[in-house]
C-alpha cells in the first residue's frame, strides 16, 4: 500500500489508488485550496514520479513568487499515485 510521509509532523498516511493531498488536511495548512495563495506549499523530498505534473495555476503562482525549484509544489494541486516523502508547510 502506498504512503505519504510528512517530515515535519513525522507521520505517514497510507492510501489506495490515487489521492489528492487535500485529503491530508490534518497534516498541513490550506488556505484557498484553488492554487491562488501558496499557503499549502510543500517540498518534495522523494517520489516526484508519483505526483501529477505541475498545473497552470502552480506555474502562474510560482512565476509571480519567483520560485523556480521544481521540488516545490502546491499541495492543493497535487494528486499522489505512489510513495512520496515531503516537507509540509514549506516556506523558503
Give how many domains the chain has, as a whole number: 1
Q: Could you tell me the CATH number of the domain that includes residue 65?
A: 3.10.20.30
Q: What is the pLDDT of residues 31-83, one digit of tens each?
A: 888 988 999 999 999 999 999 999 999 999 999 999 999 999 999 999 999 99
In a domain, 92, yes or no: no
| HEC letters along the chain | CCEEEECCCCEEEECCCCEEHHHHHHHCCCCCCCCCCCCCEEEEEECHHHECCCCHHHHHHHHHCCCCCCCEEEHHHCEECCCEEEECCCCC
Domain of 9 in residue numbering reads as 3-87
In a domain, 19, yes or no: yes
In a domain, 37, yes or no: yes
* Residue 29: per-residue pLDDT: 86
Amino acid at each position: 500500500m502506498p504512503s505519504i510521509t510528512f517530515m515535519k509532523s513525522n507521520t505517514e498516511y497510507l492510501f489506495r489508488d490515487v489521492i489528492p493531498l487535500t485529503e491530508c488536511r490534518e497534516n498541513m495548512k490550506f488556505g484557498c485550496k484553488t492554487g491562488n495563495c501558496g499557503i499549502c506549499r510543500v517540498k518534495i523530498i522523494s517520489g516526484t514520479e508519483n505526483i501529477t505534473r505541475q498545473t497552470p495555476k502552480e506555474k502562474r503562482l510560482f512565476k509571480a513568487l519567483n520560485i523556480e525549484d521544481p521540488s516545490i509544489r502546491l499541495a492543493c494541486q497535487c494528486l499522489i499515485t505512489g510513495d512520496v516523502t515531503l516537507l509540509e508547510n514549506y516556506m523558503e
